[in-house]
Structure 1
Amino acid sequence: MLEIIYQDEWIIAVNKPANMLVHRSWLARHETQFVMQTLRDQIGQHVFTVHRLDRPTSGVLIFGLSSEAGRELSQLFEQHKMSKTYHAIVRGWIEGEGVVDYPLREEHDKIANKFATGEPVTQSAITHYKTLAQVEMPYPIGRYDCCRYSWVELAPKTGRKHQLRRHMSHLRHPIIGDTAHGDLKQNRGAAEHFGCQRLMLHASTLSFVHPFTAQPITLEAGMDEIWQRMLQQFGWKD
């Protein structure tokens, strides 16, 4: 059962679990569970995709309950009228807050984009970050005799593929559990010492003006057990 965090006659939103695909894909033919199909069976009606979260990312995921609602919500994303807030645990101590304005080259999948023509283009990409807490733990990882982590709030102003993961890697503070752009030794250390077996990136809130009622809405998704345990271990629970 998926956790439904909002529902009205036009829109439904769930708290997507980590490591669950949004919908069926021929790139993952052996998978058997998908958010879209699970939600459809759970509520007994079709739902329409509006946006996606990467497979390892958890958090707010919204669907339309009709094709019209799906189109209206998709337009809000395309027009940058959706305000998104994520939380992440990253390697090292990152200070204060700031803006990463670092263009990203399109990432083409070797299978999905095998017939794409032309070279990937470089696109503008902007992310605001804010440090919420820091910690040093007495466990050696790699060449260091201890490990440091920061809890950060991330607000993407553009929507590029893997933008948050790539921007934090660019700052040399990769997100823990990121197997594509992260630090393998840090990922292994987090798994060994803290039981972290997932990407520590969570889509916490999504704010927008309802396209049918014109009312402002903020949807919030709680963090899973692994998140809660790490926050407790790091003394960040409160």
Structure 2
Amino acid sequence: MTSPLPAAERARIAALLAPTGVLRAGINLSNFLLVSRRTPDGGPAGVSPDMARALADSLGLRLHYVPYPNPAQVADAAGKDEWDVALIGAEPQRAEVIAFTPAYAEIEATYLVPEKSTAQTVADVDAPGRRIAAADRTAFGLWLDRNLKAAEIHRVATMDDALAAFRTHDLDALAGLRARLIDDQKAVPGSRILDGRFMTVQQAIGVPRAKEGALAYLVDFVADARRTGLVQELIRRHKVQGLTAA
């Protein structure tokens, strides 16, 4: 992708985002739909890294990936000058320190319930006395924090920990990305993935609030990536199931 901006304006945006000439892209390694493999030297590869590459190319910048083990650590680094852009889910709690574009891709989140569960819909899970395992400070975990009315959230550090807690503590539901729950279901005989979704993770590009002056360019970049089919092409290229273009 190339930028339609005049050279002077493109240079201004590049200098604002990456004054060293190297765009530092914060990458969440925990989402296997977005970072689906590693390069021979151990770097991230997948839809999110390729979106960062396309952005850097559009501004004539070199690219450096700044990987983090989970999205919470990406968000925590927003005010520490560790990255210039980040590719994570856009959530209101994170928007306090990060300015987000509209989503370029979406991921369904739903529940896995045990065989004995009477829940038939995602709405049934939010009931008094029900306990839900969820990875803390993920996009879907933050959504549950804001929206659950009656059920209790059993928060743990990672999605692997959430599966372990769901099994060990006989919890009523496991919250997660549908594509991940398909694998988790194999570890819980008789369990069911509920139809529908309680939210969709809005995968976006964010900038620290200190660099919010570049947001308009990033918004246009994402719109162009969707319009030209770049997002769909990256999903096909990396053979990702469970991720859709926004």
User: Which TM-score applies when normalising by structure 2?
Assistant: 0.33
- Relative contact order, CA 8 A, sep 6+: which one is greater? 2
Please state which structure has a larger fraction of its residues in helix: 2
Please state which structure has a larger fraction of its residues in strand: 1
User: Which TM-score applies when normalising by structure 1?
Assistant: 0.33
